[in-house]
């Protein structure tokens, strides 16, 4: 029994040492993510202040630290260490302690006013006898600074431009989403009635080039606004995939004004 205990006990301790180290690595990852979120949120507010020139309210503390300095990975790293705690990081599985945190892959206040903080670091067991080598871990904070997003219809200088609407297969642009060319009223009729039916303009209905080839089924589909009859309810001629763009973009793309709403 003594021999068996001398063999099993080290294995038992070895297992729990591995388990404890793995748990601490997970805890380290969570603590760094919390610290990253805290500094990232502050940087988003700071980005707004840089963009607008307006000092945020209740700015005591962190604003004085940021004002007048160039935002750099060194500053962000210091804030992460202060938030997570230098003593905790030095005693954690983090290789080289707090000095092992790197931000080489980060981009702060990039061309699209975005904050992308990537923290990379190596973790290692407390003792080399545990059985695995150091490996790389990472945390990331990604956000847009608090200066808003450009709205559709607003130009570079803030001027408001006209928004128009186009369909996927159409050749005209519409000034209003309520245009009857965009709001189709589909109804079904008997194929025996098609010669007598007239649209809202008094015109006859002609076969759809997409779905009305060959013989006529017993049921056809028409719209009050169109001049085609359809054999298939799912025909693309009965659907409107509408997208928006500025009137300048529509004109450059070769769209013509709608005869009903484009005047």
150 Cβ contact partners less than 8 Å away, ≥ 6 residues apart: none
What is residue 1's DSSP assignment?
-
Average confidence (pLDDT) over 58-68: 49
Q: Are 12 and 122 in contact (CB under 8 A)?
A: no
Q: Are 230 and 212 in contact (CB under 8 A)?
A: yes
Q: How far apart are CA 130 and CA 93, in angstroms?
A: 12
Q: What is the mean pLDDT of the chain?
A: 79
Q: How far apart are CA 97 and CA 81, in angstroms?
A: 10
Per-residue tokens: 179: 């245009």
Q: Give the pTM.
A: 0.48
**Percent of the chain residues topping a pLDDT of 70:** 78
* Alpha helix ranges (H) inside the chain: 2-52, 62-66, 73-84, 86-91, 247-252
Average confidence (pLDDT) over 176-204: 84
Q: How far apart are CA 73 and CA 100, in angstroms?
A: 14
């Amino acid at each position: 029994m003594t021999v068996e205990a001398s063999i099993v006990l080290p294995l038992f301790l070895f297992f729990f040492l591995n388990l404890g180290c793995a748990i601490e690595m997970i805890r380290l990852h969570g603590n760094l993510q919390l610290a990253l979120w805290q500094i990232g949120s502050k940087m988003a507010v700071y980005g707004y202040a840089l963009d607008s020139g307006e000092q945020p309210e209740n700015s005591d503390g962190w604003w004085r630290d940021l004002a007048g300095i160039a935002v750099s990975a060194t500053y962000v790293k210091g804030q992460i260490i202060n938030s997570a705690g230098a003593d905790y990081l030095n005693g954690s599985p983090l290789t080289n302690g707090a000095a092992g945190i790197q931000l080489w892959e980060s981009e702060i206040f990039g061309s699209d006013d975005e904050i992308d903080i990537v923290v990379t670091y190596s973790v290692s067991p407390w003792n080399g006898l545990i059985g695995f080598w150091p490996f790389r871990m990472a945390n990331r904070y990604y956000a847009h600074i608090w200066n808003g997003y450009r709205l559709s219809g607003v130009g570079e200088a803030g001027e408001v431009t006209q928004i128009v609407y186009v369909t996927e297969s159409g050749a005209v642009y519409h000034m209003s989403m309520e245009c009857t060319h965009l709001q189709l009223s589909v109804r079904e009729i008997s194929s025996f009635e098609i010669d007598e039916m007239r649209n809202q303009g008094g015109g006859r209905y002609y076969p759809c080039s997409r779905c009305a080839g060959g013989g006529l089924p017993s049921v056809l589909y028409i719209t009050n606004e169109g001049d085609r009859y359809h054999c298939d309810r799912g025909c693309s001629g009965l659907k409107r995939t509408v997208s928006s763009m500025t009137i300048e973009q529509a004109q450059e793309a070769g769209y013509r004004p709608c005869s009903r709403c484009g005047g």
